[in-house]
Amino acid sequence: MESWSNAKICDVANLILGAFLFFSPWIFAFEAGNMSQNATIAGIVIVVLAIAALSAFAVWEEWLNLIVGLWTLISPWVLGFQGSTTPMTVHVIVGALVAILAAVELWIMSQHPPRLTANR
């Protein structure tokens, strides 16, 4: 378990949140349209970025995760979810958590940058 860092735990949490967002239209019976499409697409993007970050860390993946998390957070207002409480709540909570985890991971990496080793 030594190879598991706080950054990888954040990536696993984002993976779970992305999967939850992806399946949320079926779990909570979202209406067809913007709410379902946004949850599905954002969920897929979050999952793909989390898998990429788990396989080979790159700072740009965390920046993209932060952007997707912020988009998911504000999308209910941009796309007009106001009449639907459950989809709005799911998007806001998942988006906030993904953005916070990405920001924490970026902060962790700025405090302890990965070491580059040279083979000689």
Report the number of distinct structural domains present in the chain. Answer: 1
Provide the domain limits for residue 46. 6-110
Tell me if 116 is assigned to some domain.
no
User: Residue 17 is encoded by which pair of tokens?
Assistant: 């949140």
Tell me if 41 is assigned to some domain.
yes
pLDDT for position 113: 64
Tell me if 115 is assigned to some domain.
no
Total Cβ atoms within 10 A of residue 86: 14
Q: Which residue has the higher pLDDT, 26 or 117?
A: 26
Q: Residues 6 or more apart from 54 whose CB is under 8 A from it?
A: 8, 11, 12, 15
Q: Residues 6 or more apart from 59 whose CB is under 8 A from it?
A: 106, 109
pLDDT for residue 118 is more than 90: no
| Per-residue pLDDT tens over the stretch 66-78 | 999 999 999 999 9
